[in-house]
Structure 1
Amino acid sequence: MNERILQQCEELMKKGSTSFHKAFNVLPSPRREAVHVIYAFCRLIDDSVDEPENSPYSIHELKAHFTALEQAEGHFIWPALRWLFSSFPQLQHEPFHLQMEGQLRDLTVTEYETMEDLEGYCYLVAGTVGEMLLPVLRDDQSEAARTAGISLGIGMQLVNIIRDVGEDLRRGRRYVPLEVMNKHGYSQQELEAGIVNQQFTAVLQELRAEALVWFQRGLEQVETYPPESGLAIELAASFYAAILDAVEANGYDVFRQRSYVSDETKLQLFKRTLVRYTGNSAVVV
C-alpha cells in the first residue's frame, strides 16, 4: 500500500475532527490507519450530501464506485478502501451501504416526528460506524461489543444533533423530534426564530439525557477490547460527551454559536482516561 494514500486519509480525519484524530491516534498500526480510512470515507459520504458543491463525488457516485470497488479509480479513497478490506477480512460491506442509505435520507426526510424515528436515522448514519470499527478495533466479533459500538455511535450522533440545531435549520432540516418539542411546549415557529427559553432548554436537556443513556450502553463492553482500543473508545466518548457540557456552558444557545471542546479540556480528559489504563498521565498528546 502506498503510504501517501493512507496519509491523505489521516489528513482528512485530522481536518474533519481533531477529537477523533487524537482519540484514535493511540492505536497501534494497522488499526490506526484503518480508522483513518473509515473516517475518510464517511467524511466523503457526509460531505457529498451536506456540502455537495465542495465534494469530489455525489452520494450516488460514491455508491456506484463503492459497489464496484475493485475497479474504482480517480481518488485516494478507493485504493485505501481496497487495502482496508484486504487487511481486515472480517469487515463487511453492509454497514458502509447502510451509512450511504442514511445520508441519502437527508435528501428527502428533513423533519423527525418521534425519538424512535430519529434513533433509526442515527443508527444508519452513526451506529453503522460502530459496526465498521468493530473488526478493526478487536480480533473477535462479539455480538455484545457490536451492540455496544452501535449504541455509542447513536449517542454521538445525538450529540451532533444537539450541537448543530442552528446549522441544520439553515440547511432546512429539523432533527429535534416534534414529540419532544410538544412535550415541553416549544413550537416549530420558536425553533425557526432561534428562541432560547426554558422550554427549549428542557428539550435539549431531554436529548442530552437520551445521548448519555446511549453512551452508557456504548461503554459497557469497553473492558473486553485490547487496551489500546479500549483507551481510544473511551477517549472518543469522553471528548464527545464534553460537547454536551460546552452546550450547557453556552446557555443552550445552539443557534448563534457552535459549542466546542477546548484543547486544554481534551488534554485533561486524555490524562484522566490514560491514568486508568496505564497509571501514568505523563504522555504528550
Structure 2
Amino acid sequence: MDAHQYCQERAAASGSSFYYSFVFLPADTRRAITAFYALCRELDDVVDECHERAIAETKLNWWREEIGRFAAGVPEHPATHALFDTPQGRTIPAALLLEIVDGMAMDLDGQRYPDFKSLNLYCYRVAGVVGEVAASLFDGERSADDRAIRRYAHELGLAFQLTNIIRDVGEDARRGRIYLPQDELVRFGVAEADLLNGRDTPEFQTLMQFQYARAIACYDRALAVLPAGARRAQRPGLAMAAIYRTLLEEIRRDHFPVLRARVSLTPLRKLWLASKTWLLT
C-alpha cells in the first residue's frame, strides 16, 4: 500500500474531529497534515493497545529511533515516510516529534497528576506540541518561531486536551487512569472511588463545571492571541476549535454525563461545523 494511502485510511478510520477539519485543505498541505495525524495515532495506540509496560516501552523506543531515521531522511514506517515525502513535513524538527513520544511515555507512569502544573506538562507534550506542528504545516510561509502563532497553537492544543479529559473521565477511569488533578479532587470533595465506580454526585458536577470553565478560558485565550492576518491560514485549527467547543458545550448542557457515557457529535455535524468555519473565516 502507498504510504499516503495508508495515512489517509488511518485518518479516515479514526472518525476524529481532526480529520473533518482538514478535508478542505489544498492537496499538498492535506497530505502533510494527514501523515502527521497518522503518526500521532500510531504513537497514541502504543499506549492504548499495549497492556504490558515493557512492550509499550520497547515500541516507544523504536519510534524514537524512527524519528532519528526521519531526521536523517531514511524513515521506515509508512507514516513517517509519507510525512517526509511532503515539503512541509520534512521540515518538522525531530525534537518536537520526540516531545510527543515523551508525552505518550508519561501515560505509562501511573496516570495520576498531583496538580494542574504537572498535568499541564503532559498536555503540552501530547497536545500543545501537536498544535504547534500542525499550525506550521497549515502556514508554511509563516515562521515556526512566530510567538503569537506558537502561543495560539499551545493554548488551543491545551483546550483540546482538556476537552478530551472531560469527555473521557468515565472511560479513562475504567482503564485506571485519572487525569483530573488530585488536589482539585480533594478541593471539590470528589474521591477517586467516585470516578472509578461512576458515582455522579453534586460534588462531581461542581468539579466538572470548574474543568469546563478552565477549558473555555483556553479557547478564548487562543482566539484572542491569533493574529488577524493568520486566521485564514489557520482555518483548520479554527474548524477543530468549533467542533471541540461545540462538543464541550453539549457535555455541559447535558450536565456532564461523562461517567456513564461518551458524548460525541455526528460525522455530519462535524463536517457542517468545519465547512461553516471554513467559509466564514
The answer to whether TM tops 0.5 is yes
Question: If the length of structure 2 is used for normalisation, what is the TM-score?
Answer: 0.88
Question: Gaps (5+ residues) in structure 1?
Answer: 278-285
Are residue 235 (structure 1) and residue 239 (structure 2) matched?
yes
1:139-196 CA deviation, whole Å, 9 max, x = no partner?
Answer: 1112210111011111100111111111211221110111222221111222222111
Matching of residues 1-285 of structure 1 within 5 Å: 4-52=2-50, 58-69=59-70, 70-73=73-76, 75-84=77-86, 86-88=87-89, 90-138=91-139, 139-141=141-143, 142-219=146-223, 220-221=225-226, 223-225=228-230, 227=232, 229-277=233-281
What secondary structure, in the 3-state scheme, does the structure 1 residue paired with 2:206 have? helix
Cα distance in 2 for partners of 1:251, 1:158 equals 17
Q: CA deviation at 1:18?
A: 3.7
Q: Alpha-carbon deviations, 1:181-236, whole Å to 9, x = none?
A: 22211112222221112111111111111111111222231633262x33212111
Are the equivalent residues in 1 in contact too, given 2:23–2:30 (CA < 8 A)?
A: yes
Provide the secondary structure at the position in 1 that maps to 2:11: helix
The normalised TM-score by structure 1 is 0.87
Residues 64-101 of structure 1 show CA distances to partners (whole Å, capped at 9, x for unaligned) of 2222233442x3123213224x4455421111100000
Mapped partners of 1:166, 1:88: distance in 2: 36
**Equivalent residues, number:** 271
Contact 1:235 1:273 in 2 (8 A): yes
Runs (5+) with no aligned partner, structure 2 = none
Q: CA deviation at 1:271?
A: 5.0
Aligned in 2, Cα 1:223/1:234: closer, same or farther, shift over 3 Å? same
Which whole-Å deviations, capped at 9, do the CAs of 1:18-46 have from their partners, x for residues lacking one? 42111111111211111101100000000
The question of whether the paired residues in 1 share the 8 Å contact of 2:148 and 2:227 is answered with: no
Is the 1:48–1:59 Cα contact (8 Å) retained in structure 2?
A: yes
Aligned-residue RMSD, C-alpha: 2.3
8 Å CA contact 1:223–1:230 kept in 2: the answer is no
The amino acid across from 1:80 in the alignment is A
Deviation of 1:127 after TM superposition, in Å, equals 0.4
- Distance in 2 (CA, whole Å) between partners of 1:174 and 1:78 is 31
Identity, % of aligned pairs? 28
Structure 2 letter corresponding to 1:221? L
Deviates more, 1:200-209 or 1:217-226: 217-226
SS at match of 2:263: coil
